Structure 1
């Protein structure tokens, strides 16, 4: 397999810039996620790595070789598409074996390789069936088999589970991750589904408008958002944002928000202007003695937990609370926060200013 290094990658389509000066490293054997909303540049980035699009500028290294201007056929990459891209006139066996036959591999080797791939994917019993009658999950396994059988340096996957229903998506996500762990293959995977990225990825790049917002392991992406976009895009429900004008001096451990003093992480830089107090729903608790207060607008029962929406002076805020905690619409409630779970953002730019969990971004506690 192979390490992939991207340096200052840029892609322009006329006056539109799809990807802006992206740089990151994918370690050998890593399951790497490109995550973001539609139009953020993630698929364009994947296609440039694979050689299906040539970059406007920048460098792409695969296994130490610069390949930015090489065609896809010279990169030893296997691509798995969202819509399977199978040959409908061939059965499963012929679909999987086609890449090897086209390379001139001997029949006995082809047969052995196809049998091994079928065993890995658990599709031995459908090898002689036509692909047209298969379920979506089985067709995706066949598409994966056709990619795996080549034993390429890296796999590129463009939302391969997007066409499956929710039950199949979850099952196939587990199978894909287990398959990756068995093979140790370098895999680059595009998705707009943050749960899929968090579940499967070793590392995640979060993109927005062609720009990399943050790069890191899933827990850091969740706990240490570098921007309001990341904090809002990751999490269900996403992070709460309470906006207020304020002054933050270097070394401060508290801010005054709507006439209430609240503890925050240690500020490593000063700031004056509109601030945003960010906290995830599971990090808010009800406390009758708390000075910051609000009125309950709605409750949503989720089994072991409930999501409670509270109207405050700084805006609406969601609280993930135990389902047995008695909360009624219209109640006036106190809201308590632990400074260790707070992130302060600059409202205008959306960048993180300080967060105790966020050591290494722009501040620490």
Structure 2
């Protein structure tokens, strides 16, 4: 297995800049997620790492070797596509064994290796079946088997669960993560699904318009987003944003707007002008005693919790509260915000201001 290092990677298609100077490192054995909306550059980045596209500039290092201008065949990686890309005229066994046969491996070794992989994936009973009649889940397992049978340095996966229905997709996500843990393989996985990324990834790169917005472990990215885009893209519901004009001094521990004062983590940056206070729904609490007020416009029951939507003077707010808490649509209530979990953003740049709470994350993100 291998460490993968990306250094100022850029890709242009004519006048269109698809990837803009991306830099990050994937450590040996990590399950690494490339996350972002459609068209953000994540698949282009993966294809450059795999050798299916060549970068306009920048370097790609796999296991310490610079491979940016080498074709895929010289990188010792395995690629799993969304649409499986199986050979329809071959049965399962021949599909899995094809990479080994192409390398000239002896028949006995091929049989042993295919049997080992089939055991790992739980597909021993379908080895002699044609792939055409298989379920989507079994076809995905065969595609994975063909990838892992070679013991490559790294696995690259481009939305491999995208064609599955929601229930089976969740099941296969668990299986993929378990497979990764058993094998200890370096895996790079592209997805637009932030829940999938949070569920499976050791580290996440969040991309938007060809730019790496943030890089880190899932919990850090969720708790302390580096940009307003990340805060909105990660989380369901997304982070709430309260927009206001004001001044935040260096070492400030509170901000005031809307007739209320909010305690915040100590600010290590100063800022003035258009600002945004960000808070996750689970860190909003309803309290009649609170001075910042909102009118309840909706309540969505989710079993153990409910999502309450409020209109406020500085923007809509969603609160995740226990389902047994009684709320009345149309009534007005106060909102308390957990001061330990608030993020201030520069509304012009969209960047988070550095505070005592997020400085360790943002300095590495």
Deviation of the 1:362 alpha carbon:
5.6
SS at match of 1:353: coil
Which residue pairs with 2:82 in the alignment? 82
Which residue pairs with 1:245 in the alignment? 245
Q: Name the count of aligned residue pairs.
A: 363
**Residues 268 and 362, structure 1, Cα contact 8 Å, conserved in 2:** no
Alignment partners' CA distance in 1, 2:149 and 2:175: 17
Provide Cα deviations, 1:70-114, integer angstroms capped at 9, x if missing partner: 010000010000000000111100100011111111100000000
**Residues 207 and 214, structure 2, Cα contact 8 Å, conserved in 1:** yes
Note closer, same or farther for the CA distance 1:180–1:362 as it changes in structure 2 (3 Å cut). Answer: closer
SS at match of 2:140: helix
SS at match of 1:97: helix
Corresponding position: 1:257 with 2:275: no
**Residues 260 and 292, structure 1, Cα contact 8 Å, conserved in 2:** yes
**Residues 275 and 347, structure 2, Cα contact 8 Å, conserved in 1:** yes
Q: TM-score, normalised by structure 2?
A: 0.98
**Residues 269 and 355, structure 2, Cα contact 8 Å, conserved in 1:** no
SS at match of 1:349: coil
Which residue pairs with 1:214 in the alignment? 214
**Residues 341 and 355, structure 1, Cα contact 8 Å, conserved in 2:** no
Corresponding position: 1:278 with 2:278: yes
RMSD (CA atoms):
1.0
Alignment partners' CA distance in 2, 1:362 and 1:115: 46
**Residues 353 and 362, structure 1, Cα contact 8 Å, conserved in 2:** no
Which residue pairs with 2:134 in the alignment? 134
Corresponding position: 1:30 with 2:30: yes
Which residue pairs with 1:54 in the alignment? 54
**Residues 277 and 344, structure 1, Cα contact 8 Å, conserved in 2:** yes
Note closer, same or farther for the CA distance 1:137–1:355 as it changes in structure 2 (3 Å cut). Answer: farther
Superposed, 1:277-316 pairs within 5 Å as 277-316=277-316
SS at match of 1:8: strand
Structure 2: gaps of 5 or more residues: none
Provide Cα deviations, 1:244-266, integer angstroms capped at 9, x if missing partner: 00111111111111232111111
Which residue pairs with 2:69 in the alignment? 69
Deviation of the 1:359 alpha carbon:
2.7
Superposed, 1:178-197 pairs within 5 Å as 178-197=178-197
Deviation of the 1:317 alpha carbon:
0.3
Deviation of the 1:337 alpha carbon:
1.0
Superposed, 1:151-162 pairs within 5 Å as 151-162=151-162
Which residue pairs with 2:330 in the alignment? 330
Alignment partners' CA distance in 2, 1:9 and 1:121: 35
Corresponding position: 1:169 with 2:169: yes
Runs of 4+ in 1 over 2 A off after TM superposition: 354-357, 359-363
Deviation of the 1:309 alpha carbon:
0.2
Which residue pairs with 2:150 in the alignment? 150
Structure 1: gaps of 5 or more residues: none
Q: TM-score, normalised by structure 1?
A: 0.98
